[in-house]
Structure 1
Amino acid sequence: MAYLKLDHVDKTFTRGTTTTEVLKDINLSIAKGEYVSIIGHSGCGKSTMLNIVAGLTTATTGGVLLEEREVNSPGPDRAVVFQNHSLLPWLTVYENVRLGVDKVFSKTKTRAERDAWTLHNLNLVQMTHAKDKRPNEISGGMKQRVGIARALAMEPKVLLLDEPFGALDALTRAHLQDSVMALHQKLGNTILMITHDVDEAVLLSDRIVMMTNGPSARIGEVLDVALPRPRKRLDLATNATYVKCRQRVLEFLYERHRFVEAA
């Protein structure tokens, strides 16, 4: 039984007299604890798909089921980490995370428990040392760590990552990928991630969902990444399965791109 299911999802946007079909007949089942990446060219509706799961956008037809219950509005059971960290600049690192904790646990945890839980989640992403700093006093990578801590602190059933490392330099990006991989290993949470980075998708994912180009984007292919965990970045560079998966994703994206250029 699927933990998270996208069931015959279509999405159409209408502006004035123009109607654009962004997504067409999306069917995807994700198991509990699975790490699934969605990859495709710009404009293929990846973020729209994530927003439908998050409840920020409603599907035109079809729907999303989480533990067999339909979700069509935002909720703490689905936490989103955007490419832009979206922290509140006037709050400290601690206060940004505490805000989410208070919202979700105000009735079930005491003030002392909420404080401890906030610090626990900052510790998970190694940001306790900066808890009293404001966002403009820390680096981009640190901001993303705080965003991830805030999302994890809500104890979501599904963690939604929308190109969470896209705005970071290569070294920071690698460190954060390793952190997310370690967190997934430790917490066993269910993760759906949007990316356009092939290496990132293969490194982190159990499966990679490859989208055809929009408009009317569909799931073109789903690739199983049969690499054992825990995974070490340096060991994978020469791993035959890693190289094969990477090659397949590149081929798919290249074929689709070439098809569009020829059209």
Structure 2
Amino acid sequence: MQAKPFLSIEGVDMTFKRGAATTQVLKGIDLTVDKGEYISIIGHSGCGKSTLLNIVAGLTKATTGVVLLEDKVVDQPGPDRGVVFQNHSLLPWLTVYENVALAVDKVFGKAKSAPERREWVMRNLELVHMGHARDKRPSEISGGMKQRVGIARALAMEPKILLLDEPFGALDALTRAHLQDQVMQIQADLGTTVMMITHDVDEAVLLSDRIVMLTNGPSANIGEILAVPLARPRDRIKLATDPIYLKCRQAVLRFLYERNRFVEAA
């Protein structure tokens, strides 16, 4: 008997209504994700990438279709899906430690003792190299550090899948590269299943096992899925001239800029 997929997106359509007007954003999305897999979803602005992620997160209900995580229907938010947005979403009046502890107390308030929860918060802050800033508030740390705290907070819930919505999009190139390397290392260490939204072709190829390419909206669907057969661990410097990396990069660029060229609305 064939094992059931870890994550299954089945026949998902999404239509938004505003007054008498209706817009179909997604049409017929079917996708399965294996446990421990790193999936990137890429496409032009407005094609519904974030909408799809929000459906998997349980933040948005699909018009039709279903999302199953370990064969259980996803119909609301839950700690089994950790979400990191482009905006770090930290509470400004809480310290770095307190922002992560809030999530840990909510999820593990009954399962772990207070000392165990404190140790778990610090373990996850150390995982993203933010233990030294535990007593700082968001206004006292950089954008990249805020994103690291957001990642620590999501991981501290021990989610079955980590959902990243352009988590590095607002960062400078150097900070973005450091965080990408950290996420690669965390995924290698923990075996975390990741689904990431990105606009960045190089980021998608560097991090992913597969890249899911969406067609232009409205009624966007999956136009192509590209396997990225690069061995791990991956070194960004060596990959710059790797023929497999370059071939994958070219395939994504061809899809985005030849087959699905973005057209500005009039």
Place the TM-score, normalised by the shorter chain, in its bin: over 0.9
Query: Residue type matched to 1:174 in 2?
Result: A
CA change 1:259–1:147 in 2 (3 A) is closer
- 1:189 matched to 2:195? The reply is no
Asked if the contact 2:104–2:156 (Cα under 8 Å) also holds between the matched residues in 1, the reply is: yes
SS in 2 for 1:102: helix
CA distance in 2, matches of 1:64, 1:256: 28
CA shift for structure 1 position 7: 0.4
- 1:127 matched to 2:130? The reply is yes
Identity %: 73
CA distance in 1, matches of 2:261, 2:97: 47
Q: 1:175 aligns with which of 162, 169, 178?
A: 178
CA shift for structure 1 position 239: 0.4
SS in 2 for 1:258: coil
CA distance in 2, matches of 1:2, 1:134: 40
- 1:226 matched to 2:229? The reply is yes
SS in 2 for 1:221: strand
Give 1:238-253 correspondences, 5 Å limit: 238-253=241-256
Query: Residue type matched to 2:153 in 1?
Result: R
Counterpart of 2:7 in structure 1 is 4
1:213-233 Cα shifts (integer Å, max 9, x gaps):
000000000000000000011
Counterpart of 2:29 in structure 1 is 26
CA distance in 1, matches of 2:94, 2:262: 48
1:96-122 Cα shifts (integer Å, max 9, x gaps):
000000000001000000000000000
- 1:69 matched to 2:72? The reply is yes
1:101-158 Cα shifts (integer Å, max 9, x gaps):
0000001000000000000000000000000000000000000000000000000000
Query: Residue type matched to 2:53 in 1?
Result: L
CA distance in 1, matches of 2:164, 2:81: 10
Query: Residue type matched to 1:136 in 2?
Result: S
Task: Flag structure 1 segments of 5+ consecutive residues without an equivalent.
Answer: none
CA distance in 2, matches of 1:216, 1:124: 40
CA shift for structure 1 position 260: 4.3
Task: Flag structure 2 segments of 5+ consecutive residues without an equivalent.
Answer: none
Asked if the contact 1:94–1:118 (Cα under 8 Å) also holds between the matched residues in 2, the reply is: yes
- 1:88 matched to 2:78? The reply is no
SS in 1 for 2:261: helix
CA shift for structure 1 position 259: 7.2
Asked if the contact 1:105–1:114 (Cα under 8 Å) also holds between the matched residues in 2, the reply is: yes
Asked if the contact 1:100–1:153 (Cα under 8 Å) also holds between the matched residues in 2, the reply is: yes
Q: Give the TM-score normalised by the residue count of structure 2.
A: 0.97
Task: Give the RMSD, CA atoms, in angstroms.
Answer: 1.3
Q: Which runs of 4+ in 1 moved over 3 A?
A: 256-261
CA shift for structure 1 position 255: 1.7
How many residues align? The count is 263
Asked if the contact 1:213–1:256 (Cα under 8 Å) also holds between the matched residues in 2, the reply is: no
CA distance in 1, matches of 2:195, 2:139: 28
CA distance in 2, matches of 1:2, 1:228: 23
Q: 2:116 aligns with which of 105, 113, 117?
A: 113
Counterpart of 1:37 in structure 2 is 40
Q: 1:47 aligns with which of 42, 45, 50?
A: 50
Query: Residue type matched to 1:122 in 2?
Result: L
Q: Give the TM-score normalised by the residue count of structure 1.
A: 0.98
CA distance in 1, matches of 2:211, 2:129: 28
1:15-61 Cα shifts (integer Å, max 9, x gaps):
00000000000000000000000000000000000000000000000
